[in-house]
């Protein structure tokens, strides 16, 4: 049985322009100790999917229209708030992109760090502080005992993200959801943070959902990948399969347009146009208007995600019907 | 038709120091942030220079100082024989037609109450008298050049996507027919698929119009794609400069090596085989830079002499310079 089993998750927002389905019929599983990459461009729904699992979607204007998310026999989407609170921040933790906004500027680092411990584990302050110091040392912050008394503004961006990671891991969660945790950081700091998450994951056997738009990080960091486009999962599979045996034109096009893989001077491959507005989605495949392999039937009805190779699924009609070879 | 290379821009020993002041009523200077600290760059006509470095290394400040948005503390910027630092008032304003800047966030640089036509027409007429009848065709021609449909002429900035707004910003920079463009992180705010479109456009424009471009970015893989030469900055100084392929494939300076090894490659098999250099710590504060080589506290190859005197840029391989005293040994 998987650690987390998400089925048919649909999250909608009611806006003046109409109903926006930010996450549309998304299903995936997460095994113990595994790293799942959620990839997509801005607006593809990768963050909202995570927010939905954590119960962080403001309702209204948001609404979880359908779906279940089973974690240890408990549905995270439909349950009473008290029971969810005993899971959130204890057994499932989340870290966000901007470390400054997830820390309270008025509180000392130490007080924020041990807050989850005081709430979730009935321990006294002194033990909590000791564990807080140990947690800071674990993420590589020197002089941890002294640093517990510092305020967030006294830390650099990379150090703040370390604090946030320490805070997320202090209750020893089984799942860590990381929403673009290194996007705001420089590459040399990013390398430090990724290495840190990886080593902590190994020593604690925790599962990670890693949200990112950077395929480079995915290739280095994830076991399995979910590629999202316009709120839907268009392809999912093992990381090597995603890169070497793409089963959806969007995934292939995305990889071809990355400058890192192209020699200098050669014109970069580009995907024409821009992602569709979520209020005016085309009736068929959402990628159809930009797809170079599009045929008439692609535009007619939505395409479900089906397995096209063992352990590798695609939402491309032409790949499913064997008309298209992408690799 | 091999033309003789012609120097367009010459930056000599450029310094931009910002004073650090203390006191509410009796302000006194207690130090200086040395954002740019002695930079030398020579650019040939038609060349694309990529300027990379991490946040706070002074790359944006260098760009702004060259374009005279900031007036240098010391040093000279000579563009086509004219010392820009000496110009003021109307003379400087007229000279500005020769150098333009493109910023990271196009939405912030476009007036939300002006249509694309007005924005571009204003830029065109600022430096050149254009008869009213010829203005609209000129705007249309400019829009076509950056790949915007002529039908978008009467639209406002909010009606465009991020990529298209960046096209407008590029069109506006081109409106005055500049010789030099400084582009500060022009694709950083855009999605990968849109990034490629804008990069192709910039590459095509520099080729077709013979533009000289300084492309500032924190992303080496983007810079690598568009530049002829790359300059790497660390804490206000250029630590390595050279032809793109040489710098990317055979970096000399330990910082450049770490920077390149830290970039994840979207290829799982190659990722597995890579040796990654993980630097410890953060870049130091430019208010109180370390003695000697500014990189020494984080450098895996640091030895005692590195802490002594700041190293100077020395040519080690043809056209490739690095500011590290240990290049020969490591």
State the complex-level ipTM. 0.77
DSSP-assigned letter for residue A258? -
**B317 to each of A8, A327, B52, B240, B251, how far by Cα in Å?**
59, 40, 20, 12, 10
Nearest to B262 among A187, A259, A264 (CB): A187
CB pairs under 8 A between A and B: 121
Instruction: Please give the Cα distance from A267 to A253 (Å, whole number).
Output: 14
Q: Note if the bond before A60 is cis, omega within 30 degrees.
A: yes
- Whether chain B has a CB inside 8 Å of the CB on A225: the answer is no
Tell me the mean pLDDT per 10 residues along chain A, length 327: 91 87 92 91 88 87 89 86 87 84 89 90 90 87 87 84 88 90 80 85 89 88 93 93 92 85 72 83 90 91 90 92 83
Written as six digits, the tokens of A270 are 């580009």
Highest mean pLDDT among A156-165, A262-271, B248-257, B271-280: B248-257
Across the interface, whether the CB atoms of B259 and A188 are under 8 A apart is answered yes
Across the interface, whether the CB atoms of A264 and B259 are under 8 A apart is answered no
- Section B104-129 average pLDDT: 89
Q: What is the pLDDT of residue B150?
A: 86
| Residue B1 binned pLDDT confidence (cut-offs 50, 70, 90) | very low
Closest CA to A227 of A316, A302, A299, A296: A316
Enumerate the residues of chain B whose CB falls inside 8 A of the CB of residue A221. 264
- Percent of chain B at pLDDT > 90 equals 40
Q: What is the pLDDT of residue A268?
A: 81
Instruction: Please give the Cα distance from A272 to A252 (Å, whole number).
Output: 14
Across the interface, whether the CB atoms of A215 and B266 are under 8 A apart is answered yes
| Residue B100 binned pLDDT confidence (cut-offs 50, 70, 90) | very high
Q: Note if the bond before A61 is cis, omega within 30 degrees.
A: yes
CA neighbours within 13 Å on the CB side: how many for B74? Answer: 10
Q: What is the pLDDT of residue B33?
A: 86
Across the interface, whether the CB atoms of A259 and B271 are under 8 A apart is answered no
| Cβ neighbours of residue A216 closer than 8 Å, sequence gap 6 or more | A258, A260, B263, B264, B265, B266
Q: What is the pLDDT of residue B140?
A: 92
Across the interface, whether the CB atoms of A216 and B265 are under 8 A apart is answered yes
- Whether chain B has a CB inside 8 Å of the CB on A17: the answer is no
What is the distance in angstroms between the Cα of A296 and the nearest Cα belonging to chain B? 24
Q: What is the pLDDT of residue A265?
A: 65
Higher pLDDT, B236 or B273: B236
Q: What is the pLDDT of residue A263?
A: 64
Instruction: Please give the Cα distance from B126 to A278 (Å, whole number).
Output: 40
Give yes or no for a contact between A167 and A116, defined as CB atoms under 8 angstroms apart: yes
For residue B168, report the phi and psi dihedrals to the nearest 5 degrees. -60, -45
Angle between helices B192-209 and B162-174 (to 10 degrees): 20
Higher pLDDT, B26 or B252: B252
Instruction: Please give the Cα distance from A183 to A46 (Å, whole number).
Output: 14
Instruction: Please give the Cα distance from B275 to A134 (Å, whole number).
Output: 30
Where residue A255 falls (left for φ over 0; alpha for ψ -120 to 50; beta otherwise) is alpha
Which residues on adjacent β-strands are paired with residue A34? none
Q: Is the pLDDT of residue B3 over 60?
A: no
Q: Considering only alpha carbons, which residue of chain B is nearest residue A44?
A: B191
| Cβ neighbours of residue A129 closer than 8 Å, sequence gap 6 or more | A110, A114, A148
Write out pLDDT tens, residues B17-33.
988 887 777 777 777 88
Enumerate the residues of chain A whose CB falls inside 8 A of the CB of residue B165. none
Write out pLDDT tens, residues B156-197.
998 888 888 999 999 999 999 899 999 999 988 788 878 888
Written as six digits, the tokens of A37 are 């990459």
Across the interface, whether the CB atoms of B279 and A191 are under 8 A apart is answered yes
- Whether chain B has a CB inside 8 Å of the CB on A199: the answer is no
Question: What's the mean per-residue pLDDT of chain B?
Answer: 88
Residues of B with CB under 8 A from a CB of A: 54-55, 161, 163-164, 191-197, 199-200, 203, 218-222, 224-227, 244-245, 258-259, 261-269, 271, 276, 278-280, 282-283
């Amino acid at each position: 049985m998987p650690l987390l089993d998400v089925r048919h998750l649909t999250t909608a927002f009611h806006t003046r322009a109409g109903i926006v389905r930010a996450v549309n019929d998304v299903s995936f599983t997460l095994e113990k100790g595994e790293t799942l990459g959620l990839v997509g461009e801005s607006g593809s729904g990768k963050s909202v999917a995570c927010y939905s699992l954590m119960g962080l979607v403001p309702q209204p204007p948001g609404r979880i229209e359908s779906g279940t998310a089973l974690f240890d026999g408990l549905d995270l989407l439909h349950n009473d708030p008290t029971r969810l609170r005993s899971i959130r921040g204890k057994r499932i933790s989340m870290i966000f992109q901007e470390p400054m906004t997830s820390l309270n500027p008025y509180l000392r680092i130490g007080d924020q760090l041990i807050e989850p411990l005081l709430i979730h584990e009935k321990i006294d302050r002194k033990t909590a502080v000791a564990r807080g110091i140990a947690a800071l040392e674990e993420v590589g912050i020197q002089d941890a005992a002294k640093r517990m008394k510092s305020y967030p503004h006294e830390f650099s961006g990379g150090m703040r993200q370390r604090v946030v990671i320490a805070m997320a891991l202090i209750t020893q969660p089984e799942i860590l959801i990381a929403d673009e945790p290194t996007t705001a950081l420089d590459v040399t700091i990013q390398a430090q943070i990724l290495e840190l998450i990886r080593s902590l994951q190994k020593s604690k056997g925790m599962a990670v959902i890693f949200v990112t738009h950077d395929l480079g990080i995915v290739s280095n960091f994830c076991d399995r990948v979910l590629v999202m486009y316009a709120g839907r999962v268009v392809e999912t599979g093992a990381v090597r399969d995603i890169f070497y045996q793409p089963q959806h034109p969007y995934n292939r096009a995305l990889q071809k347009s990355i400058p890192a893989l192209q020699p200098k001077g050669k014109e970069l491959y580009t995907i024409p146009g821009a992602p569709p507005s979520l209020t005016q989605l085309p009736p068929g495949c959402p990628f159809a208007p930009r797809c170079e392999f599009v045929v008439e039937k692609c535009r007619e009805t939505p395409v479900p995600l089906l397995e096209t190779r063992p352990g590798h699924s695609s939402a491309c009609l032409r790949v499913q019907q064997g008309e298209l070879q992408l690799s | 038709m091999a033309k003789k290379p012609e120097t367009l821009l010459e930056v000599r020993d450029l310094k931009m120091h910002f004073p650090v002041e203390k006191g509410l009523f009796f302000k006194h200077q207690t130090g200086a942030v040395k954002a740019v600290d002695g930079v030398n760059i020579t650019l040939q006509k038609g060349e694309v220079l990529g300027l990379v470095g991490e946040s706070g290394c002074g790359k944006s400040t260098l760009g702004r100082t060259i374009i005279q948005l900031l007036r240098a503390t010391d040093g000279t910027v000579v563009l086509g024989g004219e010392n820009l630092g000496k110009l003021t008032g109307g003379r400087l304003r007229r000279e500005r037609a020769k150098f333009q800047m493109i910023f990271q966030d196009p939405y912030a640089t476009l007036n939300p109450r002006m249509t694309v036509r007005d924005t571009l027409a204003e830029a065109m007429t600022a430096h050149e008298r254009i008869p009213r009848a010829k203005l609209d065709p000129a705007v249309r021609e400019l829009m076509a050049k950056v790949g915007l449909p002529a039908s978008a002429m009467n639209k406002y900035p909010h009606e465009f996507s991020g990529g298209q707004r960046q096209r407008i910003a590029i069109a506006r920079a081109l409106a005055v027919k500049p010789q030099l463009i400084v582009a500060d992180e022009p694709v950083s705010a855009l999605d990968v698929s849109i990034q490629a479109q804008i990069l192709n456009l910039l590459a095509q424009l520099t080729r077709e119009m013979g533009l000289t471009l300084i492309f500032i970015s924190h992303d080496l893989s983007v810079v690598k794609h568009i530049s002829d030469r790359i300059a790497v900055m660390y804490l206000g100084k250029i630590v390595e400069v050279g032809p793109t392929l040489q710098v990317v494939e055979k970096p000399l300076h330990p910082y450049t090596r770490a920077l390149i090894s830290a970039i994840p490659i979207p290829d799982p098999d190659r990722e597995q085989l890579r040796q990654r250099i993980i630097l410890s710590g953060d870049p130091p504060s430019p208010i109180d830079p370390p003695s000697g080589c500014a990189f020494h506290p984080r450098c895996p190859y640091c030895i005692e002499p590195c802490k002594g005197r700041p190293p100077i840029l020395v040519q080690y391989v043809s056209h490739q310079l690095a500011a590290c005293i240990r290049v020969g040994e490591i």
